[in-house]
Amino acid sequence: MVDRSSNQDAGHHLDLVHEVQPAPEESSRAADSAAAQGTPGNPRPFLGIQFRCCQTYGRIYRNDERTAYRGGCPKCGSRVEVPIGNGGTNQRFFSAG
């Protein structure tokens, strides 16, 4: 894990940390999948990120290809990308920096 505590690293990618949770049941996965489509009345999927570089909170959103969540620190612009794939996590909130 990399701790970027100064703004001199603006524009660099940040490492993400989270606690791994057990995989949800199949029925929960189907409901989560339907909710994650970003349809009308259902907002675009996002991850909440606590950016330690600037001690601020922000959201990163899923890309159109549905392959990753991408975004950056709202203050310094440090970038973060979280790939989407099999064997991932159902966590929605992370800490980066």
DSSP string of 26-50?
A: HHHHHHHHHHTT--TTSPPPEEEEE
Backbone angles phi, psi at 94, to 5 degrees: -135, 170
For 36: left if phi > 0, alpha if psi spans -120 to 50, otherwise beta; the answer is alpha
Q: Which residues pair with 71 in a beta bridge?
A: 80
Residue-wise pLDDT tens digits, 9-68 = 445 566 665 544 444 444 444 444 444 556 677 788 999 999 999 999 999 999 999 999
Integer Cα distance of 56 and 90 in angstroms:
22
1 domain residue, yes or no: no
Range of the domain at 26: 7-36+43-96
Residue-wise pLDDT tens digits, 32-42 = 444 455 667 77
86 domain residue, yes or no: yes
Integer Cα distance of 91 and 89 in angstroms:
5
Count of domains forming the chain: 1
